[in-house]
């Protein structure tokens, strides 16, 4: 594909100086149309015409890359293509115009969607109860860890350690520390949990083991039943990082694997894009023995009416304003209804097939550690690139010139020069083949050409160090 991104010298919206705005005849806002008491004084935002604003953001969008532009194999992020019908329904007035302070009787439809979604997620996760409140995977983790603490405390125990494999996602240790726990990291063996290392790490101080299964190398933890037993025998809980359910939906559940707690990233598997900069959803599910600790309120049904229930004996309280990001919940509900249980199973089968097809084609040209089959993703070891004076970063940048978003790179840390690839179920064989062809082509390109890529993007290579060290997060910082 011949790929070129638009390139504009686009100023910040604060810097736009417009001449006399074009007068759109049928759209005049006269000064006296806004009541005096509603006029804001001293609000420091740009005053621009509609056309300037629309053009500004359209130009920015043309300089961007998204799933609507092309393939986005960002490992661990599940950048699948989401059908527009979900956005459309989430934009309906009935969805956008409800207010969380409305009486239960006035929002029966919204409560019904939430209640049904809770039940659907229970079935998908193999758990007994779900809260829809958390707004992200990481917030789901944090909520799960607060519940873990509440559970042990009610049993009269003070357990202060969270065990994590070295392949775990970065949010796991971050959530554990935020919840006041000490992190005990255990090494992997052949890419999976090392049972011996786990046995020596588990003790009466262990509160919970957090596990992603399949893990971030795309490998299924085949010893998961032994792992669950070991933890439970020590009185500890098991937390399933279900940020990505694309590899197990309809085939098995965290509940069947004997996990006590699981979070779901709706903004990955269920109808909302991950990393889209918009709101997310990280519902949390638990088995029966932990239900009483879930945040309040829950959405309940008494056989004729839906209502918000604040009566939960040992609730950890509220962890987010109101009841979660409602439009994300609606999209998840529509997604699950559209797919049906057979469809969800097919998503899994196809995601796994796509990952293994890509792996099979790429392993003829790249080192891919751990030879066995993968689930939804796999990690390439790019260390051989160094022999040619190249790095994984260079290959990732050059891929942009061919119109592909780069895979996740340098993560997980246990693979050198890692390139983590997750194709998802929504990509065709042709797209996967084009991606492999581009990867192989880059291997045979001139080193200097690759090192200076990208060329066809709106922004060329930025300094990684500057970008990480000198963050500019506000207009004030920018002006300084
Ligand atoms: C395995 C895993 N766990 C947790 C998370 C955290 O999710 P969020 O970004 O919504 O906080 C992610 C996000 O990519 C993930 O891939």
Give distance in angstroms: CA of 171 to centre of ligand 1. Answer: 7
Q: For the chain, list residues with pLDDT below 70.
A: 1, 19-31, 275-277
Contact 369, 379 (CB under 8 A): yes
Which of 166, 168, 150 has its CA nearest to residue 158?
A: 150
Domain ends where: 338, 372, 390? 338
**Helical (H) or strand (E) element with 131:** strand 129-131
280 CA closest ligand 1 atom index: 10
Mutational pocket test of ligand 1: of 171, 178, 217, 219, the residue with most ligand atoms within 8 Å of the beta carbon: 171
Q: Over the chain, what is the mean pLDDT?
A: 93
The atom of ligand 1 lying closest to the CA of 216 is 1
* pTM: predicted TM-score of the whole model, two decimal places: 0.92
Q: Are residues 276 and 423 in the same domain?
A: no
Kindly state if the Cβ of 167 falls inside 6 Å of ligand 1. Answer: no
Q: What is the pLDDT of residues 140-154, one digit of tens each?
A: 999 999 999 999 999
| Alpha-carbon gap, residue 143 to 357, rounded angstroms | 37
Q: What is the spatial distance between Cα 216 and Cα 225, in angstroms, rounded to a whole number?
A: 19
28-75: per-residue pLDDT in tens?
566 677 788 887 777 777 878 888 899 999 999 999 999 999 999 999
Per-residue pLDDT, 125:
98
| CATH, residue 432 | 3.90.1150.10
Is residue 274 assigned to a domain?
yes
Digit-coded pLDDT (tens) for 312-328: 889 999 999 898 999 99
Q: How many domains does the chain have?
A: 2
457 lines ligand 1 (CB under 6 A): no
Please spell the DSSP secondary structure of 314-371, one letter per residue: T-----SSTTS-HHHHHHHHHHHHHHHHHHHHHHHHHHHHHHHHHHHHHTTTSB-SS-
Question: Does ligand 1 have an atom closer than 6 angstroms to the CB of 273?
Answer: no
Q: Is 79 in the pocket of ligand 1 (CB under 6 A)?
A: no
Of 338, 371, 401, the position where a domain reaches its end is: 338
Length of the chain, please?
Answer: 480
- At 286 the pLDDT is 98
Closest atom, ligand 1, to C-alpha of 140:
11
Q: Are residues 315 and 458 in the same domain?
A: no
Full residue range of the structural domain in which residue 217 is found: 87-338
Both 103 and 146 in one domain: the answer is yes
Would you list the DSSP string of 204-257?
Answer: TTEEEEEE-SS-TTS---TTHHHHHHHHHHTT-EEEEEES--TTTTTT--TTTT
Residue nearest to atom 6 of ligand 1 (CA): 137
Does 203 reside within a domain?
yes
């Amino acid at each position: 594909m011949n790929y070129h991104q638009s390139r504009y010298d686009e100023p910040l919206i604060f810097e736009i100086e417009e001449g006399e705005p074009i007068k759109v005849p049928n759209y005049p806002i006269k000064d006296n149309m806004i009541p005096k008491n509603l006029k804001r004084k001293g609000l420091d935002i740009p005053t621009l015409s509609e056309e300037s604003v629309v053009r500004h953001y359209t130009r920015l969008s043309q300089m961007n890359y998204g799933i609507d532009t092309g393939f986005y194999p960002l490992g661990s992020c599940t950048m699948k293509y989401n059908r527009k019908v979900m956005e459309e329904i989430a934009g309906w007035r009935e969805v956008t115009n409800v207010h969380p302070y409305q009486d239960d009787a006035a929002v029966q439809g919204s409560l019904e969607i939430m209640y049904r979604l809770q039940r659907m997620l229970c079935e998908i996760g193999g758990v007994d109860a779900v809260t829809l409140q958390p707004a992200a995977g990481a917030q789901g983790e944090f909520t799960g860890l607060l519940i873990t603490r509440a559970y042990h405390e009610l049993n009269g125990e003070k357990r202060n350690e969270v065990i994590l494999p070295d392949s775990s996602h970065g949010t796991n240790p971050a959530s554990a520390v935020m919840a006041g726990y000490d992190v005990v990291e255990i090494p992997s063996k052949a890419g999976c949990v090392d049972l011996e290392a786990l046995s020596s790490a588990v003790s009466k101080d262990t509160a919970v083991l957090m596990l992603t299964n399949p893990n971030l190398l795309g490998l299924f933890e085949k010893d998961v039943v032994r792992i669950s037993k070991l933890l439970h025998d020590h009185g500890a809980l098991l937390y399933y990082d279900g940020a990505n359910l694309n590899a197990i939906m309809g085939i098995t559940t965290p509940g069947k694997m004997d996990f006590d707690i699981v979070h779901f990233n709706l903004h990955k598997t269920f109808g909302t894009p991950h990393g889209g900069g918009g709101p997310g959803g990280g519902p949390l599910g638990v088995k029966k023995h932990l239900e009483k600790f879930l945040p309040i309120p829950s959405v309940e049904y008494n056989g004729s009416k839906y209502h918000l229930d604040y009566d939960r004996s040992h609730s950890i309280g509220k962890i987010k304003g109101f009841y979660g990001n409602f439009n994300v919940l609606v999209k998840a509900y529509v997604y699950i209804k559209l797919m049906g249980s057979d469809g969800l199973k097919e998503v899994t089968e196809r995601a796994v097939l796509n990952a293994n097809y890509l792996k099979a084609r790429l392993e003829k040209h790249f080192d891919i550690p751990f030879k066995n089959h993968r689930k939804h993703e796999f990690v390439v070891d790019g260390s051989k690139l160094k022999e040619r004076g190249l790095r994984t970063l260079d290959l990732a940048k050059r891929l942009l010139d061919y119109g592909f978003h780069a895979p996740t790179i340098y993560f997980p840390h246990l693979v050198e020069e890692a390139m983590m690839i997750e194709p998802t179920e929504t990509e065709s064989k042709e797209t996967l083949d084009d991606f492999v062809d581009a990867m192989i082509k880059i291997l045979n390109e001139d080193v200097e050409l690759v090192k200076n890529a990208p060329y066809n993007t709106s922004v060329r290579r930025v300094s990684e160090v500057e970008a990480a060290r000198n963050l500019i997060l506000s207009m004030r910082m920018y002006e300084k």
